[in-house]
Structure 1
């Protein structure tokens, strides 16, 4: 009687799941969630996106400020000498700045939450109004965050309005320079920072073709061009025949659903 040989067992959990790496699978799910959230945000009214973006920026800034405040509370900040009673306004302003930098976690969290939330909210509104992330929107957001940071932190004493405006201008100039440097070294000339690829990214993630998102960006195939895509256009951005057919079929299905609704 012939003995049956035992079936080979998978050598790893990844092989048992069809050879997929658990870390890659988890990362893909996270990217899909992010793409879905961006697609949802792109469909919301401007005030909803502004509120959500401002809140997220405030939470991130508050966490960073709290961490910095904890470091200073542990002795990382320089000692602030007492202020003489007859100090001039310039000395008073410098003293207030030193106090802000030496503040505790709660104060730092509040200051950075206001600064980051304001910057994120204004950037969001400017992007929706202008349709692009550019230096004007970046500088406007930095000016607003600088003004509110100065007022909330008390750095503007004894002339709060004048010093707040001065802080806003300083923030705007710094942010404008940083934006120009980033544009020069991180992206080719003429390519905008925000070209509205939210729906495109979400579609490619759902189809398992997220690696071709860079092809869409290189060809400037934004969300607005999705209904216009042809096989020739996808071929021009070097997407292989198989993925081209899948993408065009999905666009056709989405178009049919939209007409049915």
Structure 2
């Protein structure tokens, strides 16, 4: 009996400890997850607000670095999942006397069939360049539009062509044609996405253009509908107060960012 009791005791302890851990995990996870999400959101808002106050080259450098990191991770993952992406064997050299069209096809296959490091480099260059140019264009033009998107796509496509070595024997010509192709595709996708995301009749709404641009700079574009519900048009921006923003149900953090931005921007402090 004693031996049986001694054998059962560890099982009871293990069951008790595992049930306690499970109960603690189930009880703590929702609160911990919510706290983590709130902190992440606040950190992202503070980061966007800090970048909006920095010079253009600082924001562009940060945007380029973040875009390159994301693109590098995506490219490395794609290179790993590709059928021959993990191969350590180098690509064979093209045979001499190959005609230009066949050479272009070979170089394109060579660029797209690289291993994880090659794909990570190519995608890092492409996405980093796109993010940096888009940031600069947004600062210069004051709005994120199709022209800025196409300019960013052209630069990323041209640099991707040069770095990857794909295309015709003339790198400059291929960089231009690749950049144009990237610009056309991204411009088309931008216009399609804008058309589907914009409510009907929104394209003729010009009373909230400055407010919309301000919210986009601060990363608070989700509160544009609050401005419209409260009829906070561009002409009311210099008159905004904390109570007015509270009345349209904008939280305290975004309210502080909006009021601080209006005070610092001389264009917004003037009456329209």
TM-score, normalisation: structure 2: 0.68
Aligned to 2:17: none
Aligned to 1:195: 213
Instruction: Kindly indicate whether the alpha-carbon contact (under 8 Å) linking 1:57 and 1:113 is maintained by their aligned counterparts in 2.
Output: yes
Structure 2: unaligned runs, 5 residues or longer: 1-22, 265-272
> RMSD of aligned C-alpha atoms?
4.1
C-alpha distance in 2 between matches for 1:157 and 1:178: 27
Q: Give the 5 Å matches for 1:26-175.
A: 26-72=36-82, 83-175=94-186
SS of structure 2 residue aligned to 1:113: helix
Q: Does 1:185 align with 2:196?
A: yes
Instruction: Kindly indicate whether the alpha-carbon contact (under 8 Å) linking 1:198 and 1:223 is maintained by their aligned counterparts in 2.
Output: no
How far did residue 25 of structure 1 move? 2.4
Higher RCO (C-alpha 8 Å, min separation 6)? 1
Structure 1: unaligned runs, 5 residues or longer: 1-11, 203-210
Instruction: Kindly indicate whether the alpha-carbon contact (under 8 Å) linking 1:151 and 1:160 is maintained by their aligned counterparts in 2.
Output: yes
Could you tell which deviates more after superposition, 85-94 or 161-170?
Answer: 85-94
Cα distance per residue 1:121-164 (max 9 Å; x no partner): 00000000000000000000000000000000001341100011
Instruction: Kindly indicate whether the alpha-carbon contact (under 8 Å) linking 2:101 and 2:168 is maintained by their aligned counterparts in 1.
Output: no
Instruction: Kindly indicate whether the alpha-carbon contact (under 8 Å) linking 1:92 and 1:158 is maintained by their aligned counterparts in 2.
Output: yes
TM-score, normalisation: structure 1: 0.71
How far did residue 254 of structure 1 move? 6.5
Aligned residues: 226
Aligned to 2:248: 239
Change (3 A) 1:26 1:223: farther
SS of structure 1 residue aligned to 2:213: coil
C-alpha distance in 2 between matches for 1:182 and 1:116: 19
Greater fraction helix: 2
C-alpha distance in 1 between matches for 2:39 and 2:135: 26
